[in-house]
Amino acid sequence: MTDDLVPRLRHAPPRTGDSRLIKDLNSHLVLDKIQREGPISRTQIAAETGLSLSAVSKLVAGWQRAGIVHEIGKEESRGGRRPVLLEFDYHSGLAVGIKLSVNRMVSVIVDLEGHVQATDKRAFRPGNLEETVEQIVEALEALLEPLNAADRGRVLGVGIGLAGWVDPNRGTLVRSEFLPLSGAPLRDRLIERVGMPVHLDNDANTFTVAQRWLGEGQSVENFICVTIGNGIGAGIIIDGKLYHGASGGAGEFGHIPIRPHDGPICGCGRRGCLEALASESSILRDARAALAAGTPSSLREAVASPADLTIEHLIEAADAGDELARGLYQEAGRMLGQGVAILVNLFNPEEIILGGEGSRGLKYYLEGIERTLADQVVYGLQDEVRLVCVSLGEETWAVGAATLVPKDVYSSPLHRGR
Amino acid sequence: MTDDLVPRLRHAPPRTGDSRLIKDLNSHLVLDKIQREGPISRTQIAAETGLSLSAVSKLVAGWQRAGIVHEIGKEESRGGRRPVLLEFDYHSGLAVGIKLSVNRMVSVIVDLEGHVQATDKRAFRPGNLEETVEQIVEALEALLEPLNAADRGRVLGVGIGLAGWVDPNRGTLVRSEFLPLSGAPLRDRLIERVGMPVHLDNDANTFTVAQRWLGEGQSVENFICVTIGNGIGAGIIIDGKLYHGASGGAGEFGHIPIRPHDGPICGCGRRGCLEALASESSILRDARAALAAGTPSSLREAVASPADLTIEHLIEAADAGDELARGLYQEAGRMLGQGVAILVNLFNPEEIILGGEGSRGLKYYLEGIERTLADQVVYGLQDEVRLVCVSLGEETWAVGAATLVPKDVYSSPLHRGR
DNA sequence: TGCCTTCCTTCACCCGCGAAATAAAGCCCC
DNA sequence: GGGGCTTTATTTCGCGGGTGAAGGAAGGCA
Over residues A173-197, the pLDDT tens digits come to 998 888 989 999 999 999 999 999 9
- Asked if A401 has any chain B CB less than 8 Å from its own CB, the reply is no
Interior angle at CA B60, CA B56 and CA B63, nearest 5: 150
Residue B266 has pLDDT above 50, yes or no: yes
Give the B window 175-204 contacts with A, CB below 8 Å.
175
pLDDT of amino acid B415: 63
Which one has a higher pLDDT value, B176 or B159? B159
pLDDT of amino acid B197: 94
- Asked if B273 has any chain A CB less than 8 Å from its own CB, the reply is yes
Give the B window 302-361 contacts with A, CB below 8 Å.
338, 341-343, 345-350
Nearest to B88 by CA among B34, B30, B156: B34
- Asked if A259 has any chain B CB less than 8 Å from its own CB, the reply is no
Over residues A345-399, the pLDDT tens digits come to 999 999 999 998 866 788 889 988 998 998 888 887 778 899 999 999 889 999 9
Residue nearest to nucleotide D9 (CA to C1'): B57
What mean pLDDT is predicted for residues A35-61?
91
Question: In percent, how much of chain B has pLDDT > 70?
Answer: 95
Q: A53: Cβ under 7 Å from strand C?
A: yes
Q: B104: Cβ under 7 Å from strand C?
A: no
Over residues A15-26, the pLDDT tens digits come to 677 788 888 889
pLDDT of amino acid B6: 29
Lowest mean pLDDT among A90-99, B193-202, B354-363: B354-363
CA A272 to chain centre: 25
Residue A335 has pLDDT above 70, yes or no: yes
What is chain A's mean pLDDT, rounded? 89
pLDDT of amino acid A301: 82
pLDDT of amino acid A2: 29
pLDDT of amino acid A415: 64
What mean pLDDT is predicted for residues B256-273?
92
**CA–C1' span, A74 to D27, in Å?**
12
pLDDT of amino acid A361: 82
Res. B386 pLDDT band, cuts 50 70 90: very high
Pairing of strands A351-357, A386-392: parallel
Q: How far apart are CA B217 and CA B225, in angstroms?
A: 9
Sheet holding A223-228, edge to edge: A241-242, A232-238, A223-228, A351-357, A386-392
pLDDT of amino acid B416: 58
Over residues B289-314, the pLDDT tens digits come to 998 888 888 888 888 888 888 888 99
Question: In percent, how much of chain A has pLDDT > 90?
Answer: 63
With contact defined as beta carbons under 8 Å apart, do B120 and B110 qualify?
no
Cβ–Cβ of A257/B376 closer than 8 Å?
Answer: yes
pLDDT of amino acid B272: 93
Over residues B66-78, the pLDDT tens digits come to 889 999 888 887 7
- Asked if B253 has any chain A CB less than 8 Å from its own CB, the reply is yes
Q: A195: Cβ under 7 Å from strand D?
A: no
Question: In percent, how much of chain B has pLDDT > 90?
Answer: 62
Residue B354 has pLDDT above 80, yes or no: yes
Name the helix (H) or strand (E) containing B45.
helix B42-49
Which nucleotide lies nearest residue A18, CA to C1'?
A: C17
pLDDT of amino acid B345: 94
Bridge partner list, B96: B109, B158
Longest Cα–Cα distance in chain A: 78
Res. A6 pLDDT band, cuts 50 70 90: very low
What mean pLDDT is predicted for residues A268-283?
93
- The neighbour count for residue B330, using CB atoms within 10 Å, is 19
pLDDT of amino acid A208: 97
**CA–C1' span, B75 to D3, in Å?**
26
Residue A12 has pLDDT above 60, yes or no: no
Cβ neighbours for B5, distance < 8 A, ≥ 6 positions apart: none
Q: How far apart are CA A402 and CA A392, in angstroms?
A: 15
A-chain CB neighbours of B376 within 8 Å are: 257, 260, 270
Which one has a higher pLDDT value, B398 or A21? B398
Q: B23: Cβ under 7 Å from strand C?
A: yes
Residue A13 has pLDDT above 80, yes or no: no
Give the C-alpha distances (Å, rounded to integers) separating B180 from A130, B123, B129, B191.
Answer: 64, 17, 9, 20
Residue B116 has pLDDT above 80, yes or no: yes
pLDDT of amino acid A384: 84
Q: B59: Cβ under 7 Å from strand C?
A: yes
Which nucleotide lies nearest residue B58, CA to C1'?
A: D10
Over residues A81-115, the pLDDT tens digits come to 899 999 999 998 999 999 999 899 999 999 999 99
Lowest mean pLDDT among A374-383, B59-68, B333-342, B391-400: A374-383
Residue B235 has pLDDT above 50, yes or no: yes
Cβ neighbours for A82, distance < 8 A, ≥ 6 positions apart: A74, A75, A76
Lowest mean pLDDT among B36-40, B42-46, B269-273: B36-40
Q: How far apart are CA B166 and CA B172, in angstroms?
A: 6
The secondary structure of residue A254, as a DSSP letter, is G
Residue A72 has pLDDT above 50, yes or no: yes
What mean pLDDT is predicted for residues B208-230?
94
Which positions of strand D lie within 7 Å of protein CB atoms? 5-12, 15-22, 24-29
Which of B 59-98 have CB under 7 A of nucleic chain D? 60-61, 78-84
Q: What chain B residue is nearest to A379 in terms of C-alpha separation?
A: B175
The amino acid occupying position A349 is: P
Over residues A277-331, the pLDDT tens digits come to 999 999 999 999 998 888 888 888 888 888 888 888 999 999 998 999 999 999 9
Res. B162 pLDDT band, cuts 50 70 90: very high
Substitution target in A175, A331, A381 with the highest count of B β-carbons within 10 Å is A381
Cβ–Cβ of A16/B50 closer than 8 Å?
Answer: yes
**CA–C1' span, B85 to C26, in Å?**
16
Q: How far apart are CA B284 and CA A37, in angstroms?
A: 56
The interaxial angle of helices B362-376 and B323-347, nearest 10 deg, is 50
- Asked if A264 has any chain B CB less than 8 Å from its own CB, the reply is no
Over residues B2-41, the pLDDT tens digits come to 222 222 333 455 667 778 888 888 999 899 899 988 789 9
Res. B408 pLDDT band, cuts 50 70 90: confident
Bridge partner list, A357: A392
